Amino acid sequence: MTTTWDRTITLPKSTLRWWSPARGVLCSEITGHMTVEVVEPLITSFVAVYDDRPGNKVKTFHDWRAATGYDSAARVAYTEAAKPLMVHVDTIEFLLASRIVAMGVEVAKIVLGQALSASVDWPTFERRRQEAIEAGGRRPGF
């Protein structure tokens, strides 16, 4: 089975892109208002990245600067779905602009633990993402 490592979906209130530029690395971007519909693609993509490199922890980088807000049901669903997967997580890094979304990440961090971090510092976020990509072995086309 061939896996597409770069996907975009358009939902009524948002657009979600997720990709895996290297083994063990998952990246995402979201534009607009996050609803519960974003949870399944994010969790499914995480599992695909983990399954591509079983036994190793996944590093995730979510550039959600263009996220304008979220439904509390989306945060709850994401947190609940992510909980059993946290044993496979190295880091979950968020780059944020919205204070509302940042608050949601902080609430999720209470449940999911210290693997989550949020920042507004683009250069540091991008440096960490590029280091993870190089360490994981860049996929062709990325």
pLDDT of residue 115: 87
Global pTM value: 0.92
Rounded-to-10 torsion of CA 79, 4, 8, 121:
60
Sketch out the chain's domains with CATH numbers. Answer: 6-135 (3.30.750.24)
Q: How far is the C-alpha of 42 from the C-alpha of 109, rounded, in Å?
A: 17
Q: Are 20 and 52 in contact (CB under 8 A)?
A: yes
Chain-centre distance of CA 10, in angstroms?
Answer: 17
- pLDDT tens, residue by residue, 1-57: 345 689 999 999 999 999 999 999 999 999 999 999 999 999 999 999 999 888 889
pLDDT of residue 5: 87
* Residue 82, amino acid: A
pLDDT of residue 1: 39
